[in-house]
Amino acid sequence: MTKRVAILGSTGSIGTQALEVTKAHPDNFEIEVLTANNNVNLLIKQAKEFLPNTVVIGNKDKYQELAEALKDLPIKVYAGEEAIAQVVEMSTIDIVLTAMVGYSGLLPTVNAIKAGKHIALANKETLVVAGDIITKLALQHKVSIIPVDSEHSAIFQCLAGEINNPIDKIILTASGGPFRGKNVEFLKKVTRCQALNHPNWSMGDKITIDSASLMNKGLEAIEAKWLFDVKPEQIEVVVHPQSIVHSLVQFKDTSIKAQLGLPDMRVPIQYALSFPNRLSADFPKFSFLDYPQLTFEQADIQSFKNLTLAFEAMKKGGNMPCILNAANEIAVDNFLKENIGFVEMSSIIEETMNKANFIASPLLDDYVQSNDEARRIASTIIENKI
């Protein structure tokens, strides 16, 4: 049976790889909706090739260009964030791949779940910000949230067939990023260009900076807490520079299951879209002979403060992870614009966490407001610095 797929964020790193995966399996997947934030040229090219029912561009200024380019094709064209949040409700969609960047993934994901669509979740910030609401909604509307993040896909695969066997511990592996083994003095001087140069994974700018600062692993710990219903104490981070063991689960009998492979996002993307089946693929194959040494070490939480901040936010709960995430998005954006240094990102996030209003049991609206408030606070801190 063909699955009809909506890809939110089709022009990004995950989105383009997802299209590559679906293209290789035309009998299994049909592209129903494509959305992009800003990259109108690539969206036009994708629309012409995959002929979806509907395309949406987030930036309304690009609507004319998009509509004009597609006017001879039977494709509906919309623009704006509201349109992205609405289009996921279309009756002809089976699964929504959420691959947009940051907080913007939240409302479309909420709407998609309410409309009964399965979610292939690549936007971890959705669960970081409002994991309680998202997981409750998914249960209520009987939809699956299938992780695309490689670590969570690994854990999800390890848990297949373990329905009544509780998890003792989740072990998230981290590559350590480009600055593994460096101290704070070094980190203070790193440039935008150095931080964007990840050793193992090719990804978008935001997540690449998060990987370099280890915030990505902190966000992933929070993501894991919600996806697998575990306590913060049950989540351990281990640095594994080769990025071959994608993550592990330990069960009550001390047995550990791991999922391995070359670092290639097409594998977890394809699994999330084809779940519960596995489709064939011609991706490069892992060989132990190419990797005689797989190594593991402790994360340096002294130099990489973001990981500690994320665990603190997770333990505090309520809207604190939402505040952490918002402050981080502002910090990363300003680091990319070279307004602030690498280490300053952590101090801005910490200060925002101290200043923003804490809410123990937030509703969706509270999250929307906390996100705005934390962004304002973080932006003000940065303005006062520069």
223 is an interface residue for Mn ion by CB under 5 A:
no
Cβ-based neighbour number of residue 251 at 10 Å: 16
Which range binds Mn ion by CB under 5 A, 127-135, 143-151, 307-315, 378-386? 143-151
**In this structure, are strands 256-260 and 297-298 parallel, antiparallel, or unpaired?**
unpaired
3-state helix, strand, coil in the chain (%, to 5): 50, 15, 35
In whole angstroms, how close is the CB of 158 to Mn ion at the nearest point?
A: 15
CB closer to Mn ion out of 44 and 314: 314
Instruction: Please report where in the chains the tokens 């460096």 appear, as a residue.
Output: 182
Scanning 30-38, 151-159, 342-350, 364-372 for contacts with Mn ion by CB under 5 A, the matching segment is 151-159
CA distance 78 to 85: 11
DSSP-H helix ranges across the chain = 13-24, 40-50, 63-69, 81-87, 106-114, 124-140, 150-158, 184-188, 192-195, 205-213, 215-228, 266-274, 305-316, 320-336, 344-355, 364-385
- For residues 97 and 148, what is the distance between their CA atoms, to the nearest angstrom? 9
Closest CB to Mn ion among residues 54, 123: 123
Smallest separation (angstroms) from Mn ion to the CB of 203: 9
In eight-state DSSP terms, residue 293 is -
Q: What DSSP line would sit under 82-100, residue for residue?
A: HHHHHHTT-TT-SEEEE--
**Residue among 149 and 333 whose Cβ is closer to Mn ion:** 149
Measured from each CB, the residue nearest to Mn ion is 149
Neighbour tally for 14: CB within 10 Å: 28
* Ranges within 365-384 binding Mn ion (CB under 5 A): none
Size of the residue set binding Mn ion (CB under 5 A): 3
Q: How far is the CB of 127 from Mn ion (least distance, A)?
A: 13
Q: Do the bridges between strand 95-98 and strand 118-121 make them parallel or antiparallel, or are there none, so unpaired? A: parallel
Q: How far is the CB of 159 from Mn ion (least distance, A)?
A: 17
CB of 381 to Mn ion, least distance (A): 28
Q: Which is nearer to Mn ion, 149 or 264 (CB)?
A: 149
Nearer to Mn ion by C-beta: 151 or 329?
A: 151
- The rounded distance, in Å, linking the Cα atoms of 250 and 170 is 6
Residue carrying the six token digits 């969609």: 93
| Closer by beta carbon to Mn ion, 32 or else 149 | 149
CB nearer to Mn ion: pick between 150 and 306:
150
Measured from the CB of residue 254, what is the shortest distance to Mn ion in angstroms?
A: 26
The reply on whether position 149 binds Mn ion by CB under 5 A is yes
- Cβ nearer to Mn ion, comparing 174 with 340: 174
Least gap, CB of 149 to Mn ion (angstroms) = 4
**Would the CA dihedral through 75, 76, 82, 88 be positive or negative?**
negative
To the nearest whole angstrom, how small is the minimum distance from the Cβ of residue 206 to Mn ion?
13
Q: Which stretch binds Mn ion (CB under 5 A): 25-33, 111-119, 144-152, 330-338?
A: 144-152
**Of 39-47, 147-155, 254-262, 367-375, which segment contacts Mn ion by CB under 5 A?**
147-155
Contact footprint for Mn ion (CB under 5 A): 149-151
